[in-house]
Structures are given as C-alpha cells and as structure tokens.
Chain A
Amino acid sequence: MIKHSSKRITKRRHRPLEVGWRANAIINVFMVFIALSCLLPILLIYISSFTAETAIRQHGFSFFPAQWSLNAYKMLFEESFHQIVISYRNTFVLTVVGTVLSLFVMTMYGYAVSRNTFKARKALTFFAYFTMLFSGGLVPSYIVNTTIFGLRDSYWVLLLPSLVSAYNIIVLRTFFSSADNSPIIEAAKIDGAGEFRIYAQIILPISKPALATIGLFTAIMFFSKWFEVMLYIDSKSKWTIQYMLQRVMQDIQYLRSNPELLMSEEGAEMLMNLPNESAKMALTVLTMTPVLAFYPYFQKFFVKGLTLGSVKG
C-alpha cells in the first residue's frame, strides 16, 4: 500500500527501479534508430509502388518521389491480372486448407501422446522428435517425392510434406499435459464419450490459445511458400504469389548476368514480360501486405506462444 501511494506522489521523480532520465533518453534514441531502420525499408517499397516510373528512372527509389502515380498498379493489373488472381487464389487456398488440416493432424497427435494412459506415447513422441534431429535432406526428399509419390508439378507437394511439424507437436503435447485435463476426461468417459469426441468437444475448445499460436505460425509458413514451387512446380497455374514475385526477381537477375541474351528473341520476349521497377514494387506490396496487416493484432498470441515453446518437451 505504502509503496503504491509513494509511487503516485513521486511520479515525476526518478524511481529507483528505473534507469535515470539520461540513460532513458539514450536508450530511446537507439530504439528510435532501430525501429526506423526496420520500418523505413518496408515503407520505401510502399512509396516506390506509388511513384511514377519516369521518376524512378531519373532519381531512383526515393522516400520523397518527384512524381506520385497509380500507374504501377494499373499496369500490373492490365498485364498480369490473370496470373495475380490465380497466384493469390493458390496462396489462399493453400494457407487455409494447409492450416486447418495441419492443426487437425498435429493436435490429434499431440493430444494422444499427452495422455498418460496411452501405451505408445513414449515411442510415438520419439518417432516425431527424431525427425527434428535427423533428416534425409533435400536430394532424397526430392527424389522420393518425384519418383515414388509422383508429386512433380502437383499441388499436393506444397501441402502434404508441410502438414506435420515435430516441433509444433511437442509444443502442443506440452500444452495439453500441463493443463491437467484428466478429471474432465474421466468424467466424460463415465458419460460414455469416445476418445475422438473428448478430443473434439472438450480438449479443442479449451485449447484455443495454443491453437491460435500454432495456427498463426502454420498459416504464415504456408503463406510464405516459394521454395517448393521453384523446386517442384512447372505450370504457371500452380504458382503462389510469393513465387510469382521470386520469379520476376530471378528473371531480372538472369538477364543481368547474361547480357548477350537481350539481343536474342528469347531475351527480348523475357524483358517485355517483366514488370518495370514500380510495377515490381506494386507486386511486392501485394505479396507482403496480407501478413503485415494482421500481425499487430496477433502480437499478444505469439508472444505467449514463444514462451509456450520454451517449456521443455
């Protein structure tokens, strides 16, 4: 009590638990510097996407463009509207289906191995855990997926191999076993509920914080997919939005490192299909905005989630 009131009185004076005002000022200056260096490069992309192409040609990318313009978006939509719609659709379907399926598979697994009456719990926990310690690596995965499962140029290759993550399963297991649910589970059983019903109607509803965190991580993972597209996918109708942007950057680099190509027909056609600088920035804006618009609302979830993950499995 006394502490509280004394705090109120000395509100404007230095409190012993805090750093002095001079140190605080210095820290603030540093923090502003770091925060701005995180924000400004991203802001530059947004500004550049609204800059007239001629202004970029003359003065380069700038925070204070000589001329604003919406042309980049107009051009981007005119030239590749079809591809953007397809890529966006693919990304969103993949993200939604992937996140839902992934949560379903991982929570069932995590819940089962969290039950101490389950005889195979130790073996199955290790079965998942071992995939974190050792992996076949890129080449065997690629050969297995293409030759044995025939997943080359298949949409499934973006989805199936990413559905289970041992790390997430172990975090979920820790969450399920730390909340002592056994009295509820026993009670539900007396009432004749089966295991699956207990999982779906009792465990999932009370595990919302864990589901939100793991779901968010999984959704961002699916939303950011481009490597698998580059590795396995040939047809443009299966591109994701991230890969569409990656492909633009890749083609630019390809032309830059093979200048003689520009003389050839192939190179000229490639150059014609490439968006100009501002349109490239507009495409980047389309790629990053969905996540950037959402993450501040989820901040409290993943702050909690990371602390969740630090609990030893």
Chain B
Amino acid sequence: MSSIKTTAIKRKRQMSSLRAGENISLFLMTLPGIILFLCFAYLPMAGIVLAFKSFRPRLGIFGSPWAGLKNFEFMIRNATFWLTVRNTLFYNVIFLFIGILGPLAFALAVNEVRPKRAARVYQTLTIMPHFVSYVVVSVIVFAVLSADSGIIGNFLKDRGMAPIVFYSEPRYWPWILSIVYLWKHIGYSSIIYLGTITGISDEFYEAAVIDGASKWQQIKHITMPFLRPMIVVLAIIRVGGMFSTNFDLFYQVPMNSGQLYPVTNTINVFTYNTLRNSNNVSLSAAVGFVQSVAGFLLVVGTNRVIRAIDPDLAMF
C-alpha cells in the first residue's frame, strides 16, 4: 500500500478525466424525464395560445386563425363563468380554514390521547377515507343522502317526515361538500403536523411544567410556535391554489347534477363541461388561460410575500 498522499493525487487525476463522460451519462439518465415533461407539460403550456385563437380541429392548435380577445369577451359575458369564479373562491376560503384547523386540532388531540394504542387505532381509521377514490366517495354520499334509500331519508321516513331530495336542493351542498372534504382529508393531513409535534423534545414541556404551565399554555407557547412555519407554508400553498378546485369533489360527489350547479359548479368543472359537453373549445381555453395565469401569479406573489416576512419559509 502506498502513502495516503499519493493515492489522493492519483484519485484526483482519475476523477477529472471521468468528469466529462460523467456529465453525459447523467444527462442521458434525465432524458426520459425531459422528454415526458416536454410532451405533456411544456407543449400544453405552449398550447395555451389556444385562448387567443378560434380553434379549427383540422388546422390544429398552431395553425388555427387568431381571434384576438374575442374568446375572452365571450367569457366575460358568460354568466356561468362568473358563477364558477364565485363558487371557486368561496369554497377555497372555507377549505383554507377547515383544511388547516381541522387536521391541526386532530393532530394535537391524537398526540395527547391515552392509551397510545387507542391513538394508533384512531389514526388508522381516520386515514381510511384518504384511501378511497372520489368515485367511491360519491357512492358513499349517495348511500347516505339518496331520497329513496339513503340513511337520512329512512331516518326521516321512519319518523313520518318527508325525505329531503338532497340531489335537487342546492342549499345543503355547501355544507355537504365541506363535510365530505373534511371527512376525506382530516386524518391524512394531520400526519404532517403530528410528525412535527412528536419531534418536539420533551425537555421543553418538562421545563414548562416546572414553571407551572397548564397543558393549554404548553400548547399555546411551545407546540404552536414549532408548528407555525408549517402552517404558514400550507396556508400559502392554498392561497396559491385559490383559483382551482378538486375536480373529483365538485363533479363526482354531486354527480354532476344540473340542479345543483348554482352551488357546485367551479372553474374546473365548467372547463370540463364546456369542452366535452358543449364542445366549445375556445371558451373553455379562455377560462383555462385565466385560471392558469391567475394561479401562477398567486403562487409567485404569495411566495414573494413570505420571503419578505421570513426568507427561510419561501419555497423558491
């Protein structure tokens, strides 16, 4: 064995001759990903010019004639568009609160509850709804709400009351959709908080107990400060997504019922229905354009705000 020094020099020389080939191999490894991103993310991004064209299927996206802002004029005069904007913002504001406070409260409670074995059972059961698809959720909601055979309908019928026809009564749906949303996400979303809570050292709490802090004070002054960065980041991500909604929840759970549109139609559902059912590519593209651009600006804007508050929390 030669001395450490000569091996080091030998190693260095070998390395530098390898670097050039190394970069080519590494690039080749990213190539499948690059091609997929180009085809299915970047090409559609370029296709966003559709919003400024009057689309002719035979001429394709880039061959179709320009239409200026005509598609947007159509969009602005479309009453349904404004309805979907209102609904989208309405639900996102509600989900911003319940989507953060619900899982947070759940995580705090699960962390305290005894015995620990029960805590694990509670957690496993509340995570369960995350693992059924929204198609299945729509069947479950149907089994509970259906006027003919649903659980609630039967309960009312047994007491001699008329069953509520939920699927044609818009006024219940803001509640139904919020409950379904919370039901599906509370357990799963709490995992991320719980991870942080269990990571907090016991020493903090022991010191607080010596100083006579109550459990409530411990949560307020120890647990919450640890969770705050995460809550801020999650809230920001939600603000960034203010213009889009979960298609499955708003399309599949109300079963695309026309009578419920006033409270269930959101931008994503509208874009789909305009594309597939009315075959109005241009209008749909204009709505999609507004959604994409607004979403992008919101993400970049909120990120800038965070950066001003605390650079460590910024995403980029």
Contact = CB atoms under 8 A, between A and B. Distances in A.
Q: Indicate, yes or no, whether A interacts with B.
A: yes
Interface of A: 16-20, 23-24, 27-28, 30-32, 34-39, 41-42, 44-45, 48, 56-57, 59-62, 104-106, 108-109, 111-113, 115, 117-120, 124, 127-129, 131, 133-145, 147-149, 160-161, 163-164, 166, 169, 186, 189-190, 194-196, 199, 220, 223-224, 226-227, 231, 242-243, 245-246, 249-250, 252-253, 256-257, 277, 280-281, 284, 287-288, 291-292, 295-296, 299, 302-303, 306-307, 310, 312-313
Given A17-B209, A164-B33, A195-B22, A136 B292 contact: yes
B221 to A, nearest CB: 15
A18 B11 CA distance: 57
A215 to B, nearest CB: 15
Interface residues of B, number: 109
Given A136-B288, A160-B39, A195-B22, 9 more contacts: A17-B202, A28-B113, A38-B128, A41-B144, A128-B37, A139-B47, A139-B284, A140-B285, A194-B25
A295 B127 contact: yes
A226 B209 CA distance: 53
Contacts of A32: 122
B150 interface: yes
Contact of A196 (B29, B192, B316): B29
A288 B252 contact: no
B32 interface: yes
Which of B14, B125, B299 has the most C-beta atoms of chain A within 10 angstroms of its own C-beta? Answer: B125
A195 B143 contact: no
Contacts of A257: 257-259
B94 to A, nearest CB: 19
A34 B139 CA distance: 20
Interface of B: 11, 14-15, 18-19, 22-23, 25-27, 29-30, 32-34, 36-37, 39-48, 50, 55, 57, 60-61, 106, 109-110, 112-114, 118-119, 121-129, 131-133, 135-136, 138-140, 142-144, 146, 148-151, 153-154, 157, 167, 183, 186-187, 191-192, 194-196, 202, 205-206, 209, 215, 230, 247-248, 252, 255-259, 268, 271-272, 275-276, 281, 284-285, 288-289, 291-292, 295-296, 299-300, 315-316
A245 B255 contact: no
A25 to B, nearest CB: 10
Q: Which 8 A-B pairs have the closest CB atoms?
A: A136-B44, A140-B47, A195-B25, A137-B288, A60-B149, A109-B33, A60-B154, A161-B40
B113 A31 contact: yes
Contacts of B30: 108-109, 112-113, 120, 124
Given A108-B30, A195-B25, A310-B230, A250 B109 contact: no
A127 B34 contact: yes
B281 A139 contact: yes
B36 A39 contact: no
B157 to A, nearest CB: 8
A256 B42 CA distance: 41
B133 to A, nearest CB: 4
A190 B15 CA distance: 8
B135 A246 contact: yes
Contacts of A108: 29-30, 32-33
Given A112-B29, A195-B22, A144 B11 contact: no
Which of B14, B33, B202, B259 has the most C-beta atoms of chain A within 10 angstroms of its own C-beta? Answer: B33
Contacts of B45: 134-136, 140
B285 A139 contact: yes
B143 A44 contact: yes
11 contacts: A44-B151, A45-B139, A61-B151, A105-B36, A127-B37, A166-B37, A227-B248, A250-B256, A291-B131, A296-B124, A306-B191
A299 B150 CA distance: 32
A42 B128 contact: yes
B136 A287 contact: yes
A19 to B, nearest CB: 5
A250 B99 CA distance: 28
